[in-house]
A and B are shown apart, each in its own frame.
Chain A
Amino acid sequence: MFSILRSIWGVLLHTFAKRETVLYPEELPYLPPRARARIVLTRDPDGQERCVACNLCAAACPVDCISLQAAEDEAGRRYPSFFRINFSRCIACGFCEEACPTYAIQLTPDFELSERKRKDLVYEKEDLLIDGTGKYHGYNFYRQSGLAIRGKGKGEGDQENPPVDIRALHDPR
């Protein structure tokens, strides 16, 4: 009985407590630089698309709001022929960013996504692609991978030996 009265009293005392709510549009909250919101696709230091369309972001997405199709260009690079994020479904969990093996997909602190039409929240690759490297500078996936692309032949990547001459009688190394 007493505890009931005490809790009523305790609640009443909150009349004089400070309110926690931030009155958002008038008062802007502090967002840490790594706050997760709108998703972007970044480019590598050479200005090429970083995304290699490996599908891991789509697989990691708990709301399945990422859809893409891989393709290969004439330079031998993999790229998404389309890349679509349905932001009306996105929960900004950041799993896609964690899954991304090339630092291509990154979440930015811009959370102010609102549209009159839900369809306007469907972003295609052109809407997602930015011109910079985002949070991770200097990383270029194709320098690490063993795939030959135009401008980087076999054995020219980081940590690679030149290709083996299988017809040589002795090992040149």
Chain B
Amino acid sequence: MPLEGRVTTIYIDNLPYGVKDGQNLLQASLTLGFNLPYFCWHPALHSVGACRQCAVKVFKDESDTRGRLAMGCMTPATEGTRLSIEDPEAKAFRAGVIEWLMLNHPHDCPICDEGGECHLQDMTVMSGHNYRRSRFRKRTHLNQNLGPFLNHEMNRCIQCYRCVRFYRDYSGGRDFNVFASHDSVYFGRYEDGALESPFSGNLVEVCPTGVFTDKPFKEHPTRKWDLQTAPSVCTGCSLGCNIIVAERYGEVRRVLNRYNADVNRYFLCDRGRYGFDFVNSQRRLRLPLVDGRELVPEGSATQALSATEGGSPRPAPASSEAKGAVVRRAVARARDILHGSRRAIGIGSPRASVESNYALRSLVGPDNFCDGMTSGEHRLVGMMKDIVASGPVRSLSLAEVERADVVLVLGEDVVNTAPLLDLALRQAVRTRPEAVAEQLLRIPLWDDRAKREATQGKQGPLFVATPYPVSIDDIAVKSYRLSPDDIARLAQAVAYAIDPEGIAPLVGAADPLHVVAETIGGSLGLAARPLVIAGASLGSEAILRAAANVATALAKAGKKDAGLFLVAPEANSMGSALLGGMSLDEALEAVRTGGADTVVVVENDLTSRLKEASFRALFDSTKHSIVLDFFRNRTTELAEIVLPVATFAESSGTFVNNEGRAQRFFEVVNPDEIVSASWKWLGLLSGRGTGEEIAWDTLDDIIARISEDLPALAAIGSAAPGARDVPQVHRVPRDSHRVSGRTANVASLTVHEPPPPRDLDTPLSYSMEGSPRGRIPSSLIARIWAPRWNSVQALTRFQEEVGGPLKGGDPGALLFGPASDRTRAYFDGVPEAFAPDPRRPLAVAIRHVFGSEPLSALSRSVSERIPSRYVGITPDAARSLAVADGERVEVTVRDLRMELPVRIMAGLAEGLCALPEGLPDMPYVGLPAPAGILKRTAP
């Protein structure tokens, strides 16, 4: 993307450069590739001018030789600005500043996890301070226990204030602040305890030094240069945030943010950052199971431990032949079953990649393919796909959400279903007041402190309608607590308020919702970039329909920049919807009456989507079952054949996010020869006839097949270059150029250094050799590093301009074209007003950022933050049941009886109760459904 806006010429050390108008000198210098040190400035948090580190000399004009020192981050780049970065006085000033900052910095680098990727280290070296002159004592601080995600080491603090600015100002957290005064300034909580914000993990990347470091990573600290990394996509929710996954000694060590100007930009949520740990779970399957018994490769019993101490247990290094024999035996057995079966049903998963689902679909045939979603989920996701693909309003990217000026949230508890959407909305509500400040007071957008002073915390219009209190209530102009049906009705009323000709009013035009809708509709009508947010979490199609109607009404009202944002349930829900297939209930029907005798399940623990009885029935009524999964779970227990499958960290594939953006993830751990991607296993199974012929061998093959077969998914090939598109010598190295220990890592097993693993699927290599930095396509950026910039702040070197798109365009391919030429009629069908039944409240699903997503719930750090199950009831209901908070009640939903502690939720809409969905100790219920709640009688 070329630079937007007017281009200004500035002179840096007497040479002219063109920069975008309105930037500050620090941004401009970094965009141009200069090395100008800074601390308090952050590309997303902008300037406050606190640290005085980016001092440059600014000259009045050509004849000015004396100049004056100015802070780069606080000085706008105007036409003809002349500055000097190399000026001796400016350099001395910067060196002096860093020397002050280092006065109290402890002698910790060797034992600090930030060492080697520390912004403070980089800036110290860049400023030239290299010898401690101070002979005074150092100030010390006590640390706090900040929970399972972050380690606190306050001594290392340099008081840049980035942490509070991110935590409080940017992400809206409340339980973290700055205490004390002058040189005793302390950043922490009022008392020890886990940080409540689900974005706290970003402090690891925001903090320029080692005050906040990754706590799970601290169990096995590894230097950045030793980590084998690859670009990947988060599996935690449907947003598809870009991540960098890092591995050492065969174990995934951490996840860092991977900038994508269209998606997650600078930040991740804690579920995404810490949820990866399921990959290292003790429950991982490493060997195929046939009839419940492991197929153990010959010769692997002699050495029981992994190659490097500390790794999770995995089969010892058996020979390649032995492993191949195991794979052949398992595949032969599975093939026999498939050939002998009358009809095989394939149950895919919205959590598995497009490739794996497609492989299953072509193995069993499109008519026997089930997308692995319950019928409710199936319908919702299908409708979402239709709305996004054919509606007149575009589905926005997260980055566009940040720029929306009026937002209507319908039924989504965003922080728990799509956490980063919460963060984006917190920026969106600032856009309108800030635009006013910019226009009236001429405050540039980067001048953060002045901007906040001017706006005085004023926030733009955000309307929230949910059944229970949600995180964004604090930034909402107005929150409405309504039942799912009433949310749909409210939305319909809003649509009516915007387009009274096209839409009928609610039955009984005097419905009080119309009054509310008038306000919301009026506000949306005034917006330049209105946005409607809905999702699948309440299981209500009516909400989706009504949300689409609001968006359509806005489009009809001439809002070209109106947007829609639909939150899908799983990482690849949209991809599954595009593949087509039947729902889980239809699959059950096919087994029951359609004569299917074999079932193939891929990466789907069916207990989380089926009631116990249906789950049992599925396995009882099929003769054979083949299950491909990562873990031992209830589904694999019942299977005849279980094939161990590679996770997102060990395999490559494509996810389609809620916006319809196809994004490629790449393997970072080389799986051993047995564990492999589902699509690879299914490729082996699909070989028709005898012999070793298989349908596809590499990722390129299967993507080519998908493109041929399914035009709707044809664009996934352009999500990232294929292995064949990149010559061997230009493969992107997964190892850094200074990775260590190559001749010693496996020396305890063999002194004959084995060759690096070959990778035929991706344009990356298991090596430190490959494409020179800078020639790497943006979708293959495996490491944020540049000479002299070892920390993640090196990102500016990968961007076209600070905060702008990555060089060469942001990764990912949009599968749905522009919405401008689309027209569609309104959806019909408005539900009737909800009639609360105090005796049988309607149970609606409530989700938790930690726990409701089953994969991340297996992560050790995340599991510490998972609440135990409960039932949320209104204070009224509590009064009538005469129960107190925490008391146990008996809840009956759809024949399922559970004994749950009560959580009294002030603000829960009348006639509802809330059941947490997806928590590890919560069985599948199938919400929404009416619930019976009884006070437990004393035993």
The residues of A with any CB-CB pair to B shorter than 8 Å are 52-56, 58-59, 61, 63-72, 78, 81-82, 84-86, 88-89, 101-102, 118-119, 121-122, 124, 141, 144-148, 154-155, 159-164, 166-167, 171
Known: A146-B156, A171-B184. A154 touches B744 (CB 8 A): no
Of the candidates B110, B143, B225, B308, the one whose C-beta lies within 8 Å of that of A69 is: B308
The residues of B with any CB-CB pair to A shorter than 8 Å are 106-111, 115-116, 136-143, 153, 155-156, 179-180, 182, 184, 186, 218-223, 225-226, 248-249, 308-310, 738-745, 747-748, 750-751
Interface core residue of A72, A89, A166 (most chain B CB under 10 Å): A166
Chain B residue nearest to A63 (CB atoms) is B743
Known: A101-B109, A141-B110, A146-B106. A67 touches B747 (CB 8 A): yes
**A84→B748 contact, CB < 8 A:** yes
**B137→A161 contact, CB < 8 A:** yes
Distance of B306 from chain A, by nearest CB (Å): 12
Of the candidates A84, A160, A161, A164, the one whose C-beta lies within 8 Å of that of B744 is: A84
Chain A residue nearest to B180 (CB atoms) is A166
Residues of A within 8 A of B741 (CB): 58, 61, 64-68
14 more contacts with CB within 8 A, not counting A58-B226, A101-B109, A147-B153, are A52-B111, A55-B116, A67-B745, A69-B309, A71-B221, A82-B309, A85-B744, A122-B747, A154-B140, A154-B155, A159-B138, A161-B140, A163-B141, A164-B180
A102 to B218, CA, bound (A): 20
Distance of A65 from chain B, by nearest CB (Å): 5
Return the 8 tightest CB-CB contacts between A and B, nearest first: A146-B106, A67-B741, A54-B110, A67-B744, A58-B740, A146-B155, A166-B180, A155-B140
**B106→A65 contact, CB < 8 A:** no
Chain A residue nearest to B248 (CB atoms) is A69
**B751→A54 contact, CB < 8 A:** no
Residues of A within 8 A of B310 (CB): 69, 71, 81-82
Please, could you name 26 A-B residue pairs with CB atoms under 8 Å apart, sorted by A? A54-B109, A54-B111, A55-B222, A58-B226, A59-B116, A61-B741, A63-B743, A65-B747, A67-B740, A69-B249, A78-B221, A81-B220, A82-B308, A84-B748, A85-B744, A89-B744, A119-B751, A122-B744, A154-B141, A160-B137, A161-B137, A161-B140, A162-B140, A164-B180, A164-B186, A166-B186
**B111→A78 contact, CB < 8 A:** yes
Residues of B within 8 A of A145 (CB): 106-108, 110-111
Residues of A within 8 A of B744 (CB): 64-67, 84-86, 89, 122
Residues of A within 8 A of B110 (CB): 52, 54, 56, 78, 101-102, 141, 145
**B751→A88 contact, CB < 8 A:** yes
A1 to B676, CA, bound (A): 73
A121 to B751, CA, bound (A): 9
**A161→B308 contact, CB < 8 A:** no
Known: A64-B742, A89-B744. A171 touches B182 (CB 8 A): yes
**B140→A164 contact, CB < 8 A:** yes
**A164→B743 contact, CB < 8 A:** no
A44 to B67, CA, bound (A): 53
**A163→B140 contact, CB < 8 A:** yes
Distance of A93 from chain B, by nearest CB (Å): 14
Residues of B within 8 A of A78 (CB): 110-111, 221
Residues of A within 8 A of B751 (CB): 86, 88, 118-119, 121-122
A141 to B108, CA, bound (A): 9
Distance of A64 from chain B, by nearest CB (Å): 4
**A144→B107 contact, CB < 8 A:** yes
A67 to B142, CA, bound (A): 33
Distance of A91 from chain B, by nearest CB (Å): 11
A59 to B109, CA, bound (A): 15
**A64→B140 contact, CB < 8 A:** no
Distance of A69 from chain B, by nearest CB (Å): 6
Chain B residue nearest to A100 (CB atoms) is B110
Distance of A35 from chain B, by nearest CB (Å): 23
Distance of B498 from chain A, by nearest CB (Å): 53
Chain B residue nearest to A101 (CB atoms) is B110
Known: A144-B107, A154-B140, A166-B180. A64 touches B748 (CB 8 A): no
Residues of B within 8 A of A65 (CB): 741, 743-744, 747
Distance of A135 from chain B, by nearest CB (Å): 19
Distance of A32 from chain B, by nearest CB (Å): 28
Residues of B within 8 A of A70 (CB): 220-222
Residues of A within 8 A of B153 (CB): 146-147
Residues of A within 8 A of B182 (CB): 171
Residues of A within 8 A of B218 (CB): 72
**A54→B115 contact, CB < 8 A:** yes
Distance of A126 from chain B, by nearest CB (Å): 12
A65 to B748, CA, bound (A): 12
Distance of A36 from chain B, by nearest CB (Å): 18
Residues of A within 8 A of B115 (CB): 54
A119 to B750, CA, bound (A): 7
A121 to B750, CA, bound (A): 11
A55 to B109, CA, bound (A): 11
Of the candidates A64, A119, A160, the one whose C-beta lies within 8 Å of that of B743 is: A64
A64 to B739, CA, bound (A): 8
Distance of B698 from chain A, by nearest CB (Å): 30
Distance of B189 from chain A, by nearest CB (Å): 12
**B137→A55 contact, CB < 8 A:** no
**B107→A146 contact, CB < 8 A:** yes
A61 to B308, CA, bound (A): 20
Distance of B612 from chain A, by nearest CB (Å): 42
Residues of B within 8 A of A55 (CB): 116, 222-223, 226, 740
**A122→B748 contact, CB < 8 A:** yes
Residues of A within 8 A of B738 (CB): 59
Residues of A within 8 A of B140 (CB): 146, 154-155, 160-164
A15 to B137, CA, bound (A): 68
Interface core residue of A58, A81, A146, A163 (most chain B CB under 10 Å): A146
**B220→A71 contact, CB < 8 A:** yes
A116 to B598, CA, bound (A): 58
Residues of A within 8 A of B106 (CB): 145-147
A164 to B143, CA, bound (A): 11
Chain B residue nearest to A56 (CB atoms) is B110
Residues of A within 8 A of B116 (CB): 55, 59
Distance of B140 from chain A, by nearest CB (Å): 4
A131 to B179, CA, bound (A): 45
Residues of B within 8 A of A166 (CB): 141, 179-180, 184, 186
A85 to B743, CA, bound (A): 9
A70 to B248, CA, bound (A): 12
A144 to B109, CA, bound (A): 11
Distance of A62 from chain B, by nearest CB (Å): 10
A28 to B225, CA, bound (A): 42
A82 to B743, CA, bound (A): 15
A160 to B136, CA, bound (A): 8
Known: A64-B743, A166-B186. A161 touches B220 (CB 8 A): no
A26 to B222, CA, bound (A): 47
Of the candidates A61, A122, A147, the one whose C-beta lies within 8 Å of that of B111 is: A147
A79 to B142, CA, bound (A): 23
Chain A residue nearest to B106 (CB atoms) is A146
Residues of A within 8 A of B742 (CB): 64
Distance of A114 from chain B, by nearest CB (Å): 14
Interface core residue of B110, B309, B742, B751 (most chain A CB under 10 Å): B110
A96 to B223, CA, bound (A): 16
